[in-house]
């Protein structure tokens, strides 16, 4: 017989740890941003002071006039300008692979020896770790490791407490697999469009929408894209649906007879809080998205449907925004 109380307790511990980790990550980004703003203000002040000293503009004399014979030939200058233009056009092709960071930093290719040019200068007294100083691979590995460990804990709890698979919305049959892939794909496409439109509409109303984390995780090579699409995003979708839908809604409603719709509200609120990194828009839109996924889980009774839908939403966001550099919903933000 399943030990529902033990499984619910373990699920609660995993949820709390996840929310604490999310809060710490959010605080780290906020600390780094505040340090960046302070550094920018300081640099600006120093620049003003330096200009105020009059360091040579008025001291120019006739002796400083350049020798006309030493000036570059006009034709040579034109050739040089033409070469620079060609270089610039070639650089435009490469610039699509470089993400502008919100605080002025730029991610550069790994072939340049560093995954990121710093988003701010860290002094000897800085204790916070700037996420922008980490390579894309390190960030992807961190996400996959943390979410993967949480997923293993939950799966271990399922086995240890004897929770049946059907309580989690899991079956082992061909019809179940077919239903999950078909319904999940359809739901994922619809929810992706709704998610983009909702975020754009909320931004237009004045709410903030922070996409820094997604930009930091954006792949910068084919190998990184494969790791993201085939490894990290499936882990994220699988774990979050296992926790927020299968465990909190499916297992608790089955074991204790609680209304799955009431649990859907609770799980959606927790789902929204866990995405605080995305700003107020992200919290609201993610909360609504979480409730829709919860409703799909309750109605279909399928864990696979919501996993496929969740994966497609995340994968399309990365592919469209970071891969294709396409902001098709931006018109609604104006």
Residue-level pLDDT at 245? 97
Query: Which pTM was predicted?
Result: 0.72
Helix (H) or strand (E) holding 319: none
DSSP assignment letter at 58 = T
> Token digits for 98?
């470089």
Q: Quote the pLDDT of residue 74.
A: 45
Rounded to the nearest 5 degrees, what angle is found at the Cα of 200, between the Cα atoms of 98 and 182? 85
> 3-state DSSP: the chain helix, strand, coil percent, rounded to 5?
75, 0, 25
176: its two tokens: 């179940």
pLDDT at 3: 96
Task: Tell me how far apart the alpha carbons of residues 219 and 16 are, in angstroms, rounded to a whole number.
Answer: 30
Q: Quick one: pLDDT at residue 186?
A: 97
Distance, CA of 229 to CA of 237 (rounded, Å): 11
Q: For residue 107, what are its two tokens?
A: 């991610």
DSSP H or E run through 190:
helix 174-204
As beta bridge partners, residue 100 has 106
Listed as ranges, residues in the chain with pLDDT below 50 are 42, 44-63, 72, 74-125
Write the CA distances from 100 to 36, 115, 218, integer angstroms.
15, 13, 11
- Can you tell me the distance from the alpha carbon of 194 to that of 171, in angstroms, rounded to the nearest whole number? 29
pLDDT at 322: 87
Give pLDDT, residue 234.
96
Q: What is the pLDDT of residue 128?
A: 52
As a whole number of angstroms, the distance between CA 1 and CA 37 comes to 57
């Amino acid at each position: 017989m399943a030990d529902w109380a033990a499984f619910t307790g373990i699920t609660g511990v995993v949820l709390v740890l996840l929310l604490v980790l999310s809060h710490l990550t959010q605080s780290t980004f906020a600390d780094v941003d505040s340090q960046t703003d302070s550094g920018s203000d300081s640099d600006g002040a120093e620049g003003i002071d330096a200009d105020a000293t009059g360091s040579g503009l008025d001291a120019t004399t006739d002796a400083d006039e350049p020798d006309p014979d030493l000036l570059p030939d006009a034709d040579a200058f034109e050739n040089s300008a033409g070469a620079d233009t060609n270089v610039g056009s070639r650089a435009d092709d490469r610039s699509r692979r470089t993400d502008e960071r919100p605080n002025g930093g730029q991610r550069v290719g790994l072939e340049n020896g560093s995954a990121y040019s710093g988003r701010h200068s860290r002094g000897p007294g800085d204790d916070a770790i700037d996420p922008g100083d980490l390579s894309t691979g390190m960030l992807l590995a961190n996400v996959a490791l943390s979410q993967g460990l949480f997923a293993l804990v939950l799966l271990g709890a399922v086995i240890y407490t004897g929770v049946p698979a059907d309580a989690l919305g899991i079956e082992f049959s061909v019809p179940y697999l077919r239903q999950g892939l078909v319904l999940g794909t359809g739901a994922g496409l619809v929810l992706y469009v709704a998610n983009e439109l909702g975020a754009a509409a909320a931004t237009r109303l004045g709410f903030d929408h922070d996409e820094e984390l997604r930009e930091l995780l954006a792949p910068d090579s084919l190998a990184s894209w494969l790791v993201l699409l085939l490894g990290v995003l499936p882990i994220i979708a699988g774990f979050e649906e296992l926790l927020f839908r299968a465990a909190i809604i499916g297992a608790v409603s089955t074991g204790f007879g609680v209304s799955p719709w009431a649990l859907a509200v609770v799980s959606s609120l927790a789902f929204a809080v866990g995405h605080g990194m995305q700003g107020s828009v992200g919290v609201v839109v993610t909360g609504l998205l979480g409730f829709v996924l919860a409703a799909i889980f309750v109605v279909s009774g399928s864990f696979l449907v919501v996993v496929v839908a969740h994966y497609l939403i995340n994968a399309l966001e990365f592919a469209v925004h970071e891969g294709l550099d396409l902001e098709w919903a931006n018109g609604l933000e104006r």
